[in-house]
Amino acid sequence: MKFPCEEVANKILPAIRAEIATKLANEYGLKQIEISKILGVTQGAVSHYLSSFRGKERELLSKNPDIEKKIDEMAAMLIKGEFDEKHICKICKKLRELSSPHF
């Protein structure tokens, strides 16, 4: 039996990181190495996020404007060094409310 948080860790968190990495690259003009330091992952992982090799569940996030807004807020907070991990939990909860039996 898998718990909901396991599914989120395997599918949703990589999608969130991919969305944030894309925003940091496209909207803030950061390089992959800068993004990797902010997200606490390797530059190779950032490359995979940006190429959609990782975080393939991104379409689930874009279906909800509230989730997109939270991701925008998270990206801005990360840039300012003011990240609040409670945003991840809010996104997870919202996705679980909206989702099919997959989550």
- Does residue 8 register a pLDDT over 80? no
21-76: per-residue pLDDT in tens?
999 999 999 999 999 999 999 999 999 999 877 666 777 777 778 888 888 888 99
Q: What is the pLDDT of residue 100?
A: 52
Neighbours of 81 (CB within 10 A): 7
pTM above 0.75, yes or no: yes
Q: What is the pLDDT of residue 38?
A: 93
Helices 13-26 and 86-98 cross at an angle (nearest 10°) of 120
